[in-house]
């Protein structure tokens, strides 16, 4: 929407690895309602870019802004407004899906047990809520992580290969959830090798040269 302040703005970002510049002078903004897909071949810096945006990797060149403020001043507000899911699931193997979700919510969201159970059922883990995650398949562990999306009120979701190891039903469900998030005024930045099928526009940022 013209004239609104972006949620997140990046100016002149650069990433260098092993004396090789992966990207430079990269500038873009993310507005409420945006779904932004970071594209590029393997090694182009997609995951690194997400980490730069989330403060998980050092920003050596360029600037980031959150709701119009420099990130150096706005970081506490930014972190409280962010849900980041990395390429790894981030679930603790010895805990159950419910325990993992409960521990995450204790730090981030005021969510009751009923809603947590509903989130786990929604992602297809009904009957597995009390099973240790190390006894679950890779797809089920991914679902345990994705349950966070169903209880998250964070305005910005940053997702690295969130579609990995989930079946067709899970893919369709996650696509619908991303569009629902954008329609509600949130924003999503993601990487994926999956061909997205969302109702509505997906903005794309290309890194590297196509192979």
Assess whether 175 and 145 both reside in one domain: no
Q: Positive or negative, the Cα torsion across 95, 101, 104, 107?
A: negative
Q: Which of 2-16, 51-65, 142-156 has the lowest mean pLDDT?
A: 2-16
pLDDT band for position 210 (cuts 50, 70, 90): very low
Q: Supply 203's token pair.
A: 């903005």
Assess whether 143 and 160 both reside in one domain: no
Domain boundary among 128, 152, 176: 152
Mean pLDDT value across residues 170-177: 95
**Rounded-to-integer distance, Cα 120 and Cα 55, Å:** 29
Assess whether 44 and 108 both reside in one domain: no
Domain boundary among 130, 152, 174: 152
Assess whether 45 and 142 both reside in one domain: no
Assess whether 197 and 148 both reside in one domain: no
Assess whether 184 and 119 both reside in one domain: no
The percent of residues in the chain predicted with pLDDT above 90, rounded, is: 88
pLDDT digits (tens, 9 = 90+) for 18-36: 888 999 999 999 999 999 9
Assess whether 94 and 142 both reside in one domain: yes
Global pTM reads 0.94
Q: Are 136 and 144 in contact (CB under 8 A)?
A: yes
Using alpha carbons, select from 26, 47, 31 the residue that is nearest to residue 193: 47
pLDDT band for position 3 (cuts 50, 70, 90): low
Structural domain of residue 94, as residue ranges?
A: 87-152
Assess whether 108 and 40 both reside in one domain: no
Assess whether 105 and 160 both reside in one domain: no
Q: Supply 194's token pair.
A: 């999956």
Average model confidence (pLDDT) across the chain = 94
Domain boundary among 117, 152, 187: 152
pLDDT digits (tens, 9 = 90+) for 63-112: 999 999 999 999 999 999 999 999 899 999 999 999 999 999 999 999 99
CB atoms under 10 Å from CB of 94, counted, come to 10
Assess whether 117 and 64 both reside in one domain: no
């Amino acid at each position: 929407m013209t004239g609104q302040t972006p949620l997140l703005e990046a100016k002149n970002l650069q990433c260098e690895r092993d004396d090789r510049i992966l990207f430079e002078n990269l500038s873009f903004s993310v507005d409420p309602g945006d779904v932004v897909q970071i594209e590029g071949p393997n090694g182009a810096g997609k995951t690194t870019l997400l980490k730069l945006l989330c403060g998980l990797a050092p920003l050596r060149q360029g600037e980031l802004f959150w709701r119009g403020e420099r990130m150096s001043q706005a970081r506490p507000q930014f972190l409280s407004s962010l849900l980041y899911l990395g390429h790894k699931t981030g679930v603790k193997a010895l805990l159950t899906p419910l325990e993992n979700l409960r521990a995450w919510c204790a730090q981030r969201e005021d969510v009751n047990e009923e809603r947590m159970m509903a989130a786990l059922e929604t992602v297809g883990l009904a009957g597995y809520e009390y099973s240790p995650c190390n006894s679950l398949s890779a797809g089920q562990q991914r679902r345990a992580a994705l349950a966070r999306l169903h209880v998250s009120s964070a305005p910005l979701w940053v997702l690295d290969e969130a579609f990995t190891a989930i079946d067709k039903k899970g893919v369709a469900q996650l696509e619908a959830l991303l569009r629902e998030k954008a329609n509600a005024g949130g924003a999503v930045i993601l990487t994926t090798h999956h061909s997205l099928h969302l109702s509505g526009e997906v903005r794309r940022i290309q890194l590297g040269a196509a192979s």
